[in-house]
Structure 1
């Protein structure tokens, strides 16, 4: 009997799904990008196409679909029915057509490193805010062809170019496509080699930068980051820099980053070093987050929150190493390095929310808290960036001290990077802790309970003491009077913008948005806390604060309480031991 093997359905060759995009800008001054999406190989009664609701690296549901307009679809010359079935999903009734063309427009006018922007001068294509994807096809490859507007001549992106096709790029899957922003326009481009990798810098918006100086200084950051991990995972890397009047921030990608910078900041020493610090932070994400990552952060669910309790590592440790790379590259002195971290410790202690929310909880709740602060956030939350940076500092010193200056947090980071690479997945909190214990040779149960999962007061004297640095609280024992409000002056009015938990203002009923008229009869000054009328008071005194609330005059009696904030000052005492000097040298990479 002859078996018709080739006809069996389970052995039949599957039709390959092909996806391509064409991006154009008919009237860029209106802030729209026009998208043509071609899909073939999906012979189904209907095809659902979806827009991501968030973008990796920025943990907030941003609802990118809100900017999508004019969705239409055709198969050949036949118009197809399009129905929106969810907030981010359009159903194309394809009638089993093998090839579909979908057209839509995306309004793009939000200035940030995480949203698309189009105007007459350039286009910033932020992929999760621009490209839809067919349902259940995130593993499919795609190509993107950019048609620059008339007069635009350059495209910058980390995507791989398609040979012989100008301004056309390919992505092996949607995780890569969504992780590859695209700059279109007339940006200034310069290149440098570092760690064996070609780096391209695309500068939009002008600015007082010196490309020749940057080609010397940026590679030093790259080399220091690469030295930590022993290898650079890219063949090429792209910096997209938006130089704006008030630019700030950055967002990491698989082999690129987008940086927002104030265009005049390069002209000052502080501003220039701030830019290098931003480069150090985002470049470190090449490893920490993109490859050395919490297990929840990839493969991604682009329609829902992706929860992790480890953003204090992903972002906080990246902030910590931003300081270390700047120190190692020679852009920060040892005193500046230590002083900056001591200030970070003080800031955490002086944040009332640090006594309420743990680093792990802050990470988990990033979706509803970090990007949506309100007037009470300082009292109820702690930044996983700031707390994580302090945890990185403490853990680094703990490991160095425990191993007699043989090992450090560097060894944990490299080992975890290699472990994630070998396992092909991210780490769990337990795995990271286990590696830190393995390298330090000690139990870190108490450390994790206090600083990661708890809100234990930071033992700064103990940890800095490992390195022979004495850190004291200048406010200790002074019993300073404290009102507990922050204010903003505008058009001659002084309004309360924050009230600190458990302060006199908190206990006695001053509110955010109250306009302060006077204190004990003295007209309110822009800096209420610095008014002379307060300087002459002591803890327990009662002051009369005249306010206007909802256009009604009120007088509130406030009993001044003791200032809970610390003012930390370091010194190097006599009698520092050889062991402490070795910890200091290891911590600061001193010779």
Structure 2
């Protein structure tokens, strides 16, 4: 069976040549492999492997090798070269060549003209949570950006990756297979670093949907049900046409780590890696969370892996790649992920609205929404602070990117009377700006004009470069929805402080900007020991606050820099119930039509 490569990240002048090369290489994968990579997992119990990379002769006098300083899907500088030791360089005769290290991620090899060069080094792989490289006695997860060095001169050349693994291990990847089950072929380095390899003691399933091949590979024990995962992933992968005109792959691999401690996921060109707590699959909410993550990464197969903003094309692996459109890459993906689950009849409409409710509540409780735009947070993603400061003074490309995508979707639906939506914008990006092209803000604005027939310049300035102030009641009413806090309209006393138990009191972990505690001058790391002169015996400050009412003033004793201090807080109020979004009882025909244009589903019956 012929396995196809995805050529989306190839440079234009190489694309047709490599397509021809692959047709021949499908018959004999090693015949045209210009870069040979051998990965010998010889000491898995110590997280060690030996990497050998052989480069064909060239006329250059010096070779510069590098290891990326970040990996795709994670916009953060990482220390990926820190696990490399015992490097040696030889030619085809076994003679050692002189090398030196010029930077943390760069090696220079001398006198290489007309010589085959083999670079070997020991690799320590124990970065499971970063989804870069991890080896133990049961598996190895290998993202090439943290494993395989490259040269600019050979970045476009075919790479053949051969694994030497313990007996009984299975190897999977979105890459094409080579001559055996532990060999893979990448048409170039860019495809290699975007196609991780999982090998080990795996639970493995193969299935076909609409002529395309899929694999599910699970490492680790947990409370998941494999058959349920396969059943629902089959439903999910059929939803591509809800947004895009075609599929960008013939084969796709879902890799799942059921583990302890590590969590998160990363999209790749032809696969995804999803990490979850081994016991976070069984309950309905946990299982939907897993499928929501799978859907997020599936959306990325188009949004980012087939079209992405200027600044990220082509990838510069040795430095930050700046863009003010990362909110569109990540936030829009978050926005679409659960819509696909609803369309696939995996998630119910009430379950979908519950998740929208969390987004609304999160935005309303994030003071940073007035301090930073989604364009600014996109550009600054590489220096994202997070924590208390981030919540009070920043937004992020995921949650606020979701919000702006939602606002844009509703604006398009309204302006076109339900004939078009934000989905049409992404389909146009996929068709008109497929890699190796890239798009910028003006390109998106042009598409918006084409889709709606009107200018979105002022909308863009207000919501992308400004700080949006949505009227959620008015927004939701368009689709026949409303916000409610339940039948209980009671309010509770509120300080704006988050705490964690500590010996002798409660340590302040966050103070919401402009909250009562903020106005009183409380800050992180204060240790609250008493309220109104009584020791803080409760491990939960909110439980203690049930003894007070909004607008009352409490006297708080606390330690700061080991000094006992006292401050008063005049309590604020928060609704006792949980914010939720519900269907209106008697929706109009217009509201029903809007709801269907938004979700693709008929307005549910009461």
**Same-fold call, TM cutoff 0.5:** yes
**Whole-angstrom distance in 2 between the partners of 1:390 and 1:259:** 24
Q: TM-score with structure 2 length normalisation?
A: 0.88
| 1:483 paired residue among 483, 495, 500 | 495
Residue of structure 2 in register with 1:464 after alignment: 476
| 1:261 paired residue among 263, 266, 276 | 276
Q: Is residue 364 of structure 2 the alignment partner of residue 349 of structure 1?
A: yes
Flag the 1:523–1:440 CA change in 2: closer, same or farther, 3 A.
Answer: farther
Residue of structure 1 in register with 2:466 after alignment: 454
Offset at residue 311 of structure 1 (A):
1.5
| 1:378 paired residue among 349, 366, 391 | 391
Flag the 1:389–1:480 CA change in 2: closer, same or farther, 3 A.
Answer: same
Residue of structure 1 in register with 2:103 after alignment: 86
| Ranges in structure 1 where 5+ consecutive residues have no aligned partner | 1-15
| 8 Å contact kept, 1:71–1:82 | no
Q: Structure 1 stretch 182-191 or stretch 563-572: which is displaced more? A: 563-572
| 8 Å contact kept, 2:313–2:436 | no
Deviation string 1:131-153 (CA, Å, 9 cap, x unpaired) is 1001343222211111113x343
Q: Is residue 127 of structure 2 the alignment partner of residue 110 of structure 1?
A: yes
**Whole-angstrom distance in 2 between the partners of 1:583 and 1:389:** 19
Residue of structure 1 in register with 2:419 after alignment: 406
| 8 Å contact kept, 2:141–2:198 | yes
Q: Is residue 396 of structure 2 the alignment partner of residue 392 of structure 1?
A: no
Flag the 1:432–1:564 CA change in 2: closer, same or farther, 3 A.
Answer: farther
Offset at residue 339 of structure 1 (A):
3.2
| 8 Å contact kept, 2:353–2:582 | no
**Whole-angstrom distance in 1 between the partners of 2:553 and 2:239:** 55
Residue of structure 2 in register with 1:558 after alignment: 569
Q: Is residue 138 of structure 2 the alignment partner of residue 126 of structure 1?
A: no
Offset at residue 41 of structure 1 (A):
2.3
Residue of structure 2 in register with 1:367 after alignment: 382
Residue of structure 1 in register with 2:514 after alignment: 502
Offset at residue 241 of structure 1 (A):
0.9
Residue of structure 2 in register with 1:98 after alignment: 115
Q: SS of the counterpart of 1:289? A: coil
| 8 Å contact kept, 2:295–2:337 | yes
| 8 Å contact kept, 2:490–2:576 | no
Flag the 1:402–1:80 CA change in 2: closer, same or farther, 3 A.
Answer: same
Residue of structure 2 in register with 1:44 after alignment: 60
| 2:594 paired residue among 578, 583, 587 | 583
**Whole-angstrom distance in 1 between the partners of 2:281 and 2:230:** 14
Q: Structure 1 stretch 324-333 or stretch 39-48: which is displaced more? A: 39-48
Q: Is residue 193 of structure 2 the alignment partner of residue 193 of structure 1?
A: no
| 8 Å contact kept, 1:73–1:103 | yes
| 8 Å contact kept, 1:291–1:426 | no
Offset at residue 64 of structure 1 (A):
0.6
| 8 Å contact kept, 2:99–2:107 | yes
**Whole-angstrom distance in 2 between the partners of 1:287 and 1:482:** 44
Q: TM-score with structure 1 length normalisation?
A: 0.90
Offset at residue 428 of structure 1 (A):
0.9
Deviation string 1:519-573 (CA, Å, 9 cap, x unpaired) is 11233222213314x652433x442211122333222233445669996454555
Q: Is residue 540 of structure 2 the alignment partner of residue 527 of structure 1?
A: yes
**Whole-angstrom distance in 1 between the partners of 2:550 and 2:601:** 46
Q: How big is the alpha-carbon RMSD for the aligned residues of Structure 1 and Structure 2?
A: 2.5
Deviation string 1:52-104 (CA, Å, 9 cap, x unpaired) is 00011100000211221111111222212221001110111135251111111
| 8 Å contact kept, 1:310–1:360 | yes
Q: SS of the counterpart of 2:510? A: strand
Q: Is residue 156 of structure 2 the alignment partner of residue 139 of structure 1?
A: yes
**Whole-angstrom distance in 1 between the partners of 2:502 and 2:234:** 44
Residue of structure 2 in register with 1:9 after alignment: none
* Pairing of 1:62-461 with structure 2 (within 5 A): 62-75=78-91, 76-112=93-129, 114-149=131-166, 151-162=167-178, 164-369=179-384, 372-421=385-434, 424-461=436-473
Offset at residue 481 of structure 1 (A):
5.0
| 8 Å contact kept, 2:36–2:161 | yes
Q: Structure 1 stretch 434-443 or stretch 312-321: which is displaced more? A: 434-443
Q: Is residue 529 of structure 2 the alignment partner of residue 517 of structure 1?
A: yes
Does 1 or 2 have the higher relative contact order (CA < 8 Å, sep 6+)?
2
Flag the 1:434–1:95 CA change in 2: closer, same or farther, 3 A.
Answer: closer
| 8 Å contact kept, 2:504–2:529 | no
| 8 Å contact kept, 1:346–1:566 | no
Deviation string 1:402-422 (CA, Å, 9 cap, x unpaired) is 21121112211112211113x
Deviation string 1:98-144 (CA, Å, 9 cap, x unpaired) is 11111112211122252100111111111100010013432222111
Deviation string 1:257-299 (CA, Å, 9 cap, x unpaired) is 1110222222222222221111111111110110122122221
Flag the 1:559–1:269 CA change in 2: closer, same or farther, 3 A.
Answer: closer
Deviation string 1:214-245 (CA, Å, 9 cap, x unpaired) is 22211110001244213211121111111113
Q: Is residue 562 of structure 2 the alignment partner of residue 547 of structure 1?
A: no
Residue of structure 1 in register with 2:38 after alignment: 22
**Whole-angstrom distance in 2 between the partners of 1:397 and 1:261:** 33
Flag the 1:473–1:353 CA change in 2: closer, same or farther, 3 A.
Answer: farther
Offset at residue 491 of structure 1 (A):
5.3
Q: Structure 1 stretch 115-124 or stretch 200-209: which is displaced more? A: 200-209
Offset at residue 388 of structure 1 (A):
1.3
**Whole-angstrom distance in 1 between the partners of 2:480 and 2:454:** 21
**Whole-angstrom distance in 1 between the partners of 2:504 and 2:427:** 55
| 8 Å contact kept, 2:494–2:574 | yes
